Structure 1
Amino acid sequence: MKLNTIVVDDSSIQRITIAKLISEHPNLKLSGDFSNALEAKSHISNNQVDLIFLDIEMPHITGFDLLDGLKIKPQIIFITSKADYAVKAFDYSAVDFLQKPIKKERFILSVKKAVEMYQLKHENHIDEQGAHIIIKSNLKKIKVFISRIKWVEAFGDYIKVVTYDETHLVLSTMKAFESELPKDQFLRIHKSYIINLDKVERFNSKFVEIDGEKIPLSRNKKEEIITILENY
């Protein structure tokens, strides 16, 4: 999962700095950087934007003015050199407030908040629509919301369906269970593992990490899997 992200700041140095941090983060995709609010507003109106790194003090139109003019507001992380704006920033339901100069550790913490909020909102939306599967575990039929599944793991003649709530043991093959899951959201990354792409926190050439757990990648399909992860 990657959040479509833009930077709005009249300082070219700040834009370059933040754009670099965004490009290095596995959960962010830079879709634009803008020196003024008018250009940013035009982009937001015509493209999906999930997260904005927004400077407050800009010529002509401030960051607050930009938000006041948006009907649908993406998640906002304010950036400014003045801490005095912090209280007003949170009146706009900001994810976070970063004070210049921006430190990488603080940036990563802010993004973590944004990703968690996005996932929570996304999960709630899916759950309201009732996207779920029925599994039979321990002689009981159980409704499992797809958005709560982290990964599926082979376990002898059974499979383990690992969710945020509990782990269910189901008598099934990986292939049969995979056919019940949305193909655009779940990926077989190993003969013994199917993952929910929305839950991937980071990955490399050997494994993906979900909720702190490292899950191995198949050696045979490594390049294909990495390409899918990079573009998700």
Structure 2
Amino acid sequence: MQDNSILKCAIVDDSKLQRLAIVKLIEEHSSLELVAEWNNAIETKNGLLDIPVDLLFLDIEMPILTGFDLLDDLENKPKTIFVTGKTKYAFKAFDYDAIDYLRKPLKRDRFNAAVEKALSQTKMAATSKSAENEDYIFVKSNLKKRKIFLNNLKYVEALGDYVKLIMDNSDPVVVLATMKSFESQLPSERFLRVHKSYIVNLKKVERYNNRNIEIDQEQIPVSRHKKAALSEALSS
């Protein structure tokens, strides 16, 4: 989504009248752009393959598959506002991280409040991602000062009197530094020294066991005394 102030939205409801009611409210809201309407979960699942959607207005009770079934089948779930005539699903709805749960018939103030929640969450996520992407340190490599974006740093490997920085989509960077001094430059909540010769970016870890970490199919050893710290860091 290029403009965080506009949410591309879609309606999923087997009732044409209910879809029309939601359409009218969407058209009144300057921060919403309606990109699709679907009348069942199967249509929606197929449609989402071709149409990017930020926000779903989703009915729950529909033929064949429910709204919950739809979300269970989606790998990448849009933000969701449930719109239903029943109150009994409200508790379950929030197991799906729903933005809100609206009762039919819709009321304009409740609809707008739910949309504002979606906009607020989108803005917060964009701000967090932007801050993370701009998080960097400076290092000196081959007598040149270089900016290293921490989000692109996969792991650090000891190399004698140097450390080697293994990056996403770029060649390794070799820096004159000890592991201890370089570790002190990295945020401890995102990087962990898992071995005397390795520091890893916790967000890059794909798999791990008692002996190894896997990052982009590369195996990195884990010291025996670092197993507990690694498990705790990844679980949190």
- Does the pair score TM above 0.5? yes
> SS at 1:83's partner residue?
coil
Does structure 2 retain, via aligned residues, the 8 Å contact 1:56–1:64? yes
Give deviations 1:71-103, integer Å, cap 9, x for gaps: 011100001111010000000000000011110
Distance 1:130 1:46 in 2: 31
Asked if 1:123 is matched to 2:142, the reply is no
Does structure 2 retain, via aligned residues, the 8 Å contact 1:54–1:63? yes
> SS at 2:88's partner residue?
helix
Q: Which residue of 1 aligns with 2:104?
A: 100
Q: Which residue of 2 aligns with 1:39?
A: 43
Shift, 1:131, TM fit: 7.8
Q: Which residue of 2 aligns with 1:211?
A: none
The letter of the residue matching 2:110 is: R
Distance 1:5 1:131 in 2: 31
Distance 2:86 2:51 in 1: 30
Does structure 2 retain, via aligned residues, the 8 Å contact 1:4–1:28? yes
The letter of the residue matching 1:87 is: F
Distance 2:47 2:73 in 1: 13
Distance 1:87 1:74 in 2: 19
Between the aligned residues of both structures, percent identity stands at 47
> SS at 2:89's partner residue?
helix
The letter of the residue matching 2:11 is: V
Q: Which stretches in structure 1 are left out of the alignment for 5+ residues?
A: 133-232
Q: Which moves more between the two structures, 41-50 or 105-114?
A: 41-50
Q: Is the alpha carbon distance of 1:7 and 1:131 closer, same or farther for their aligned partners in structure 2, counting shifts above 3 Å? A: farther
Distance 1:125 1:101 in 2: 37
Counterpart of 1:74 (choices 78, 92, 107) is 78
Asked if 1:2 is matched to 2:6, the reply is yes
Q: Which residue of 1 aligns with 2:234?
A: none
Asked if 1:59 is matched to 2:63, the reply is yes
Distance 2:87 2:107 in 1: 15
Counterpart of 1:12 (choices 9, 16, 30) is 16
Rg larger in structure: 2
Give deviations 1:5-51, integer Å, cap 9, x for gaps: 00000010000010111111011000011111111111212221100
Does structure 2 retain, via aligned residues, the 8 Å contact 1:19–1:33? no
Distance 1:14 1:131 in 2: 46
Alpha-carbon RMSD across the aligned residues, in angstroms, is: 1.3
Question: Which 4+ stretches in 1 moved above 6 angstroms?
Answer: none
The letter of the residue matching 1:104 is: R
The letter of the residue matching 2:18 is: Q
Shift, 1:69, TM fit: 0.4
Does structure 2 retain, via aligned residues, the 8 Å contact 1:37–1:63? yes
When normalised by structure 1's length, the TM-score is 0.56
When normalised by structure 2's length, the TM-score is 0.55
Distance 1:127 1:106 in 2: 32
Does structure 2 retain, via aligned residues, the 8 Å contact 1:8–1:34? yes
Distance 2:131 2:51 in 1: 26
Q: Which stretches in structure 2 are left out of the alignment for 5+ residues?
A: 137-236
Aligned pairs for 1:131-210 (under 5 A) are: none
Give deviations 1:166-218, integer Å, cap 9, x for gaps: xxxxxxxxxxxxxxxxxxxxxxxxxxxxxxxxxxxxxxxxxxxxxxxxxxxxx
Distance 1:44 1:24 in 2: 24
Asked if 1:90 is matched to 2:88, the reply is no
Distance 2:46 2:53 in 1: 11
Distance 1:23 1:61 in 2: 28
> SS at 2:83's partner residue?
strand
Distance 1:79 1:126 in 2: 32
The letter of the residue matching 2:42 is: L
